[in-house]
Every structure is written in structure tokens, then in C-alpha cells.
Structure 1
Amino acid sequence: MYTHHKTYHPYASPFDPCKPISEKSFSTPPHLYIGFQPPNLPQFSPLEALRCGTLWKDFYDPYYNAQEKANGGLPT
């Protein structure tokens, strides 16, 4: 199974002067998991497509950083 949100644990040297970040995360876009574009995909309206950055709803991925997720998806 795949997810659009992945995490990893970077190496932390015992000699680092600062407290290490134990877990980092990143987002992967949905188009990485579709090998080809199927016909008749649902589409956004032209105005919505400009806001979302894609015409097809299946390829839309709203990216929220950790701070925005804590605020319910609202930018600060």
C-alpha cells in the first residue's frame, strides 16, 4: 500500500552540536502512482483548475505543511 505522505529518520551524528530532528516528512504527488492517464477522468472547471494547478481531480494533491495541518489546513 502507498501513501502520499512519507516519513524517514535521518542519521544523527553523536557529535552534532544541535539537537537532531528525529523524523522528517515529505509529500509525494498522486501522478507518481498512476502509470498512464486513463480516459474519461473527472475534470475541474477551468477556474478551479487554475487554482488547483491541474485539470484532473485525480492528480490534485493539496499540500499542507505541519504547521498548516495543526491549524486545520489554514495557512498562518
Structure 2
Amino acid sequence: MFTYRKAYRPYISPWDPCPPLLIKTYETPPQLYMGFQPMGLPQFDPREALRRGTLWPALFAPYTNPYKGVKGGVYGDGRTPVDG
């Protein structure tokens, strides 16, 4: 499944004094996947565009917190955010 959120497993040093995050994530903006902006894209009405921060729905990507409900990069049942 396609997602704007990407994940990777960072190197964890044996001498790291803090508990490590096993999975780190980052988001990629939608415009990276649009080669050019075609003419006639649908538009939000002005009030909705101000609320969402963009005029075009194709370029809107809400931020979701990847760590909400996650402790130390692992869910309670042992799954990681990468596993799903």
C-alpha cells in the first residue's frame, strides 16, 4: 500500500546511554510524486484552503503522529510500525 510515511531502522550503538527508537519515520510531501501540476486540478474553496494550507486537494497531506500509542518504537504486542 502506498503511503507518504517512510520508515527505517537506524543503527543502535551498544554504548548508547538512552533507550533507542527501533524504528524512525519521516514523511514525504505529495509534490515529490507529481511530476508537474496539470491544468484543471480541483480546488478547495478559499476558507477550506486556508484551513488546510493548500489550494489543491492533490497536494494536501495531513500530518499523523507515528509515535502515538507506541512506546520505544514497538507496540504492546511486539509489532513495530514497519510491520503494520
The TM-score by the shorter chain falls in which range? 0.7 to 0.9
| Aligned residue runs from structure 1 range 6-25, under 5 A | 6-25=6-25
Identity of aligned residues (%): 56
Q: More relative contact order in 1 or in 2 (CA 8 Å, sep 6+)?
A: 2
Letter in 2 for 1:14: P
1:56 alignment partner in structure 2: 56
Letter in 2 for 1:6: K
What TM-score comes out, normalization by structure 1 length? 0.80
Q: Secondary structure at the match of 1:11?
A: coil
Comparing 56-65 with 2-11, which one deviates more in the overlay?
A: 2-11
Give unpaired runs (5+ residues) of structure 1: 71-76
Structure 1 stretches of 4+ moved >4 Å: none
For 2:50 and 2:28, the matched residues in 1 are separated by 20
Give unpaired runs (5+ residues) of structure 2: 70-84
Comparing 54-63 with 13-22, which one deviates more in the overlay?
A: 13-22
| Aligned residue runs from structure 1 range 1-76, under 5 A | 3-66=3-66, 67=68
Structure with more of its chain in helix, by fraction = 1
Residue 3 of structure 1, CA deviation: 2.7
Q: How many residues align?
A: 68
For 2:2 and 2:62, the matched residues in 1 are separated by 17
Report the aligned-residue RMSD: 1.5
Q: Secondary structure at the match of 1:40?
A: coil
